């Protein structure tokens, strides 16, 4: 009998469209949601090219200034400082989150007693559901100079002689933000790595054990290569959020006048100029800069992964 090509290859675009009609209909509500709340508001970007005044009429009747807002933004020393803080905290949070989530997932997978494993996993991802208002309150209380548990433990261990004002010195702020993100999200972030580890063929571990491989060898040569595609995909996606500064609420609630040079991020910069000062145009320009850089980084990371033959988004 002559070989026939798979039917799907012979289908035209519209035939495939009709055959997957149910899936497309299911995606329509989400598509409408994204269009309304993500794309329709983009008309507000016009403010970045204007000297926008809320009482100056419609957005199309405002005074146009071209790229003046962007020129002022890049010449402002304050924005350079804000950009430094944002990138630094993002990189710290990204690195710590990846290392701790992968390590925690591997350690959980090595636990043989299922009850104990589920108990630890449940406790670890519960902080994810807490509001940052609560989390930052816990962090501030723990780092207090009066009765903070961190200072008490360090003094009991004779590592410090007197309490440290953790939230009053800028050199500690970036590390506090990174540690807070890890504590809140490590359990939740580990779930996807646990799912990837469980999909690895158990026969690989059995063969390695028969060859005399130790537990660490199996982790290094089987577990990590097995979850490598997931790691790369998540890394690419997280690079698109590199200018989020590891979050917004944690810097906003933990920051104060003493550490403002270390705590202010692009989002706080936009909030300050857009709502407090009333310079909506400059705040919008800063937001556009953040979005454009994030998109460029996302496509660059995806392109590099494609050239290296690794997993990618598209």
Q: What pLDDT score was predicted for residue 275?
A: 76
> For residue 185, with 0-12 CB atoms within 10 Å meaning exposed, 13-18 middle and 19 or more buried, which class applies?
buried
Q: What pLDDT score was predicted for residue 10?
A: 59
| Buried/exposed 108-131: b ≥16 CB within 10 Å, e otherwise | bbeeeeeeebeeebeebbebeeee
Query: Chain-centre distance of CA 273, in angstroms?
Result: 24
Return d(Cα 242, Cα 226) in angstroms, integer. 26
* CATH 1.10.3720.10 is held by the domain 62-307: yes
Residue 165, token pair as written in the block? 């004002």
Q: Contact 235/82 with Cβ under 8 angstroms?
A: no
Helix (H) or strand (E) holding 63: strand 63-64
Return d(Cα 252, Cα 244) in angstroms, integer. 13
Query: Side-chain half-sphere of 241: how many Cα atoms within 13 Å?
Result: 12
Tens-binned pLDDT, residue by residue, of the chain (314 aa): 444 444 555 567 777 778 888 888 898 999 999 999 988 888 888 889 988 888 766 777 788 888 999 998 888 888 899 999 999 999 999 999 999 999 999 999 888 888 888 898 889 989 999 999 999 999 999 999 988 999 999 999 999 999 999 999 999 999 999 999 999 999 999 999 999 998 899 899 889 888 888 888 999 999 999 999 899 888 888 887 888 766 788 999 999 889 999 999 988 888 888 777 888 888 889 889 988 888 888 888 888 888 877 777 66
DSSP 308: T
Per-domain boundaries in the chain:
62-307
Return d(Cα 48, Cα 40) in angstroms, integer. 16
Query: Side-chain half-sphere of 124: how many Cα atoms within 13 Å?
Result: 19
Return d(Cα 137, Cα 247) in angstroms, integer. 16
Rounded to 10 deg, the angle between the 170-198 and 114-125 helix axes is: 140
Return d(Cα 240, Cα 295) in angstroms, integer. 6
Instruction: Give just the sign of the alpha carbon dihedral 276, 279, 281, 286.
Output: negative
Backbone phi, then psi, for 3, in 5-degree steps?
Answer: -75, 140
Return d(Cα 85, Cα 178) in angstroms, integer. 12
């Amino acid at each position: 009998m002559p070989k026939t090509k798979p039917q799907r290859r012979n289908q035209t675009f519209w035939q495939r469209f009709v055959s997957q009609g149910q899936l497309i209909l299911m995606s329509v509500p989400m598509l409408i949601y994204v269009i309304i709340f993500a794309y329709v508001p983009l008309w507000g970007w016009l403010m970045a090219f204007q000297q926008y005044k809320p009482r100056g009429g419609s957005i199309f009747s405002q005074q146009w200034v071209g790229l003046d807002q962007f020129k002022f933004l890049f010449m402002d020393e304050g924005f350079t400082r804000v950009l430094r803080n944002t990138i630094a905290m993002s990189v710290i949070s990204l690195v710590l989150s990846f290392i701790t989530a992968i390590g925690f997932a591997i350690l959980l997978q090595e636990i043989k007693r299922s009850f104990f494993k589920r108990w630890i996993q449940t406790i670890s991802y519960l902080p994810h559901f807490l509001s940052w208002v609560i989390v930052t309150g816990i962090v501030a209380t723990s780092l207090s100079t009066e009765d903070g548990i961190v200072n008490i433990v360090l003094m009991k261990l004779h590592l410090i002689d007197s309490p440290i004002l953790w939230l009053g010195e800028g050199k500690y702020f970036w590390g506090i933000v990174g540690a807070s993100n890890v504590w809140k999200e490590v359990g939740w972030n580990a779930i996807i790595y646990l799912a990837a580890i469980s999909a690895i063929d158990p026969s690989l571990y059995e063969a390695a054990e028969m060859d005399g491989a130790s537990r660490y060898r199996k982790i290094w040569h089987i577990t990590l290569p097995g979850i490598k595609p997931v790691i790369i995909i998540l890394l690419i996606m997280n690079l698109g959020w590199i200018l989020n500064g590891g979050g917004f609420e944690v810097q906003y609630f933990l920051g104060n006048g003493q550490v403002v040079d270390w705590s202010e991020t692009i989002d706080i910069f936009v909030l300050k100029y857009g709502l407090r000062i009333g310079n909506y145009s400059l705040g919008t320009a800063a937001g556009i800069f953040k979005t454009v850089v994030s998109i460029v980084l996302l496509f660059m990371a995806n392109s590099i992964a494609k050239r290296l033959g690794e997993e990618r988004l598209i």
